[in-house]
Each structure stands twice: as C-alpha cells, then as structure tokens.
Amino acid sequence: MKNLIFNILTIAAIFIAPFRGNAQDDNSSLRQPQEPQPLQLTLDQALDIALSESNTIKIADMTVEKSGYAKKGSYAALYPNVSVNSSYQRTLLKQVMVMDMGGQAMEIKVGRDNNINASATASMPLVNAQLWESLKLSGMDVEMAVEQARSSKIAMIKQVKQAFYAVLLAQESFEVVSQVYANAQKNYEKTLQRFNVGKASEVERLRAQVTVMNAEPNVSSAENAVFLATWQLKAVMGINLDTEVEVVGDLNDYTAQMLSPYVSEDDLSNNSSLLQLGIQDRMLESTIKMQKKQYIPTLAASINYNYSAMGDDELRWFPSSTAAVSLSIPIFDGLQKHYSIMQTKKTRDMLSLQREDTERNLRIAIRNYNDQMALCVKNYEAANATVEIAQKSYDISEKMYEVGKTTLVELNDAQLALQQAQLTQAQAVYNFIVTKASLDELIGKEE
C-alpha cells in the first residue's frame, strides 16, 4: 500500500512539475518591472501640458487672483469701520493739588486707584467722490492682470511651438545625416569589393574609408542636437527633465499649411501690448477724474459708545455715547492737487505717443514676418525641386560608380549636394512655422 501511494505521488509530481514551472515563469514575468514607456508627445499635448504645468502660467493665474482680492479689499472702505477698545489704568501715585482754604494751604489728592475704560466706535463715509472713483481703478487693476495673464499664455504657446519645431528640425537633420552615413558605409563596402578584385585603387579605398569616418561625428552631433532640443522642450513645458518623451510628428506635416494660399494678417485688435496700453490709458483717465474729485467736500458719520469706571475699593460705572457728522471742505493746499493733475495729464500724453510708436513698430514687424514667410515658401519650392534633381543625380552616380564609369569623388559630391538640398528644404519649413508662431503671438492668437 505504501508503495502504491509513493508511486502515485511520484507520477503526480512528474505531471505537476512542468505546470508549476510554467506558473513560476509566468509569475516571475509578472514580477519583472516593466520599463516605462516614453510619453508620446504631439504639439497639442505639449501645449496642454505647458498651460497646466508651467510655472509662468501658474504665476499669471495667481496674479489675477491676487488682483481680485485687492479689488474686494478696496470695497471695504464703503462699509462701516467698527472697532472696540478697552484699557485699564492703575494709579501708583496720585497727583496732589494744593488749594488755599481760608489762608491755609490744603493738599488734595486727585484721581482714583483704578480706572477702566471700554468703548466701541463705528464710522463710515457718506459722501466721498474720490473714494468711489478709486473703486473703478481697482476694477481696472483686475482687468490689467487678466490681460497680462493672457499675454503670458500667448507667449508660452509661442515658446512651446518653437521648441517643438526645433525638435522636429533636429530629428529631420539626424535622419538626413544618418542616411548620409549609411550611404557612406554602403559605398565603402562597394569600394572595398572593387579594391579586392583590382578594380579600385588604394586611394579610392582610403577616400571611401575617410568619408565614413568623417560622417560618424556628424551623426553623433545630430543625435546630441535632438537630445538638447528635447530637453529645451521639456523645460519650456515645465515637466521633469528626466521624463522620457517621444516627439510625434514631422516637418512634412506642415508643408500643406505652408503651400496653401495665405492671406496676410495685420489685425492688431487682439495684440496684448496695445490692449495693455489701452487699459493704462483708461486708468490714467480715471486717475485724473479721481484727482479732480479731491476738490469735492467729503462727509462722514461716526458713533461712539463709552463705558468707564473709576474707584478705589468699589468701582462705579458710567456710560456715555456720542454721534457725529463731519464735513471736510478743501479750501487751499498750495496748488498741490492742480499740479498732480497736470503731471497725470502729461503722463497720459506720453502714453499716447508710446502707443503710436508701439503700433507703428508692430506694423513693421507684421510686414517683416509676412515677407519672411513668403521667402520661406520660395526657398522651399526651390529646395524641393533641387532635392528631386539631387536625388536623381545621386542615384545615377551610384549606378555609374558600381560599373566603374565615375569616380568616388563625383559620387561624394552628388551625395553632398543631396544632403544640402534636404537640409535646406527642412530649414525652409522650420523657418516658416517658427515665423508663423511669432506672427500669431504678435496678433494675439490663443491657439
């Protein structure tokens, strides 16, 4: 019986062992830490992350919130100001008064040992035109903060776009340089084969080898440029620099936008600089009104309730109350108000001239951006045609080199021409979209 049980357990162990091994393998595979996948990053995703994570945007939002609190605080001046005060005084040495009573001096101590006082006071302005005008200025402060926050958002959008485009350009350059390196390796292998059969000279073999060696540093530099451009993008977005990201996209994605019919944009109604200058002008106008209203009398009301007690051993309490209305009429202040108004008016005149210069410079910048974009389109079209010709020239030179009808120098020249044409093409697209981002910021686009 024991032998039977032993045999059954042995057979069971034989059949169960593989399954246990598989289960352990599965569990071990589950326990193995998964490598984090890089963040797939499109332009829209980069903008969303930047607008939510960037400290610049957070500071701008906090500034708006801070201005809102300041505005609410300014309205407190319209409400009654209530305060409660109390005091206790212990007399250590009473004051002595000497009085002549029938030709005889008499000393009398004045005061009590204990003095307690408690009072409540409430006051509020009834007529104060300067205060009412200042409330409008507080509202304009909030409006200015909101516009400055919008300006920060627009600037952030431009920075993210340009950093994103820089990564695309670096990736495109890396691909071109890598292709040049691959072609150099392939040509070296062909040259080595021809050299081994006596159809190529030692000079050609060395020249092909040098071409490969010269291409290697270019690949490393291009790869490092991609790395640095990606770091710059992450820094602008406000995310951890150690976060692995993979920029999704290609410069060719923007060629349709570049080649589509373009209408010059010159509307400055949403330009943040001009809008801020407009708000400043309205603030100065309101300041002048506020300063003029300093000539208007002010009226304020107050009420006071006082409860006091004095005594040595036993305290006696005495209540008292007063209500008052105070009228203040400005008569003469040495023309201080007048000169303050004149200074503010001059400041407003200077702001008007500054606005004219700003608008003039913005018009020039718009014209410059439009001209640059038109030039980029022409450069792209020329480079596009050059790429097609250079590619055909390289393909022909490569075939001719294989059959020994051309030299390696001519093949390298054809490859260099193709590389320059491809980089010029990519640079034209990059210059266009970067300039377009700057133009969008100038006219105040929030997308």
Would you list the DSSP string of 66-111? HHHHHHHHHGGGGS-EEEEEEEEEE-SS-EEEEEEETTEEEEEEES
Give the C-alpha separation, 309 to 112, whole Å: 10
Q: Which amino acid is at 308?
A: S
In this structure, what token pair is assigned to residue 166? 């820089």
The dihedral region occupied by 261, where left means phi > 0, alpha psi between -120 and 50, and beta the remainder, is beta
Q: Which amino acid is at 153?
A: K
Give the C-alpha separation, 144 to 175, whole Å: 47
The number of CA neighbours under 13 Å toward the Cβ of 136 is 15
The number of CA neighbours under 13 Å toward the Cβ of 33 is 2
Would you list the DSSP string of 194-235? HHHTTSS-HHHHHHHHHHHHHHHHHHHHHHHHHHHHHHHHHH
Burial of 38 (0-12, 13-18, 19+ CB in 10 A): exposed
Domain extents in the chain: 37-81+127-296+333-443
Question: How do the pLDDT tens digits run along the chain, 447 residues long?
Answer: 334 333 433 333 333 344 344 444 444 444 455 556 778 889 999 999 888 888 888 888 898 888 888 888 888 888 889 999 999 988 888 887 777 777 777 777 777 888 899 999 999 888 888 888 888 888 899 999 999 999 999 999 999 999 999 999 999 999 989 988 888 888 888 888 878 888 778 888 888 888 889 888 999 999 999 999 999 999 998 888 888 888 988 888 888 888 887 666 778 889 999 999 999 999 999 999 999 998 999 999 999 999 988 887 788 888 999 999 999 998 988 888 899 999 999 999 999 999 999 999 999 999 999 999 999 999 999 988 888 888 898 888 888 877 777 777 788 888 888 888 889 999 999 999 999 999 999 999 887
The domain made up of 37-81+127-296+333-443 has a fold known as Outer membrane efflux proteins (OEP) (1.20.1600)
Three-state DSSP at 263 gives: coil
Q: Under a CB-based contact definition with an 8 Å cutoff, are residues 46 and 157 in contact?
A: no
CA angle 396, 177, 437 (to 5 degrees): 115
Whole-structure pTM over 0.75, yes or no?
Answer: yes
In this structure, what token pair is assigned to residue 418? 């193709």
Q: Which residues contact 110 (CB under 8 A, 6 or more apart)?
A: 94, 95, 96, 97
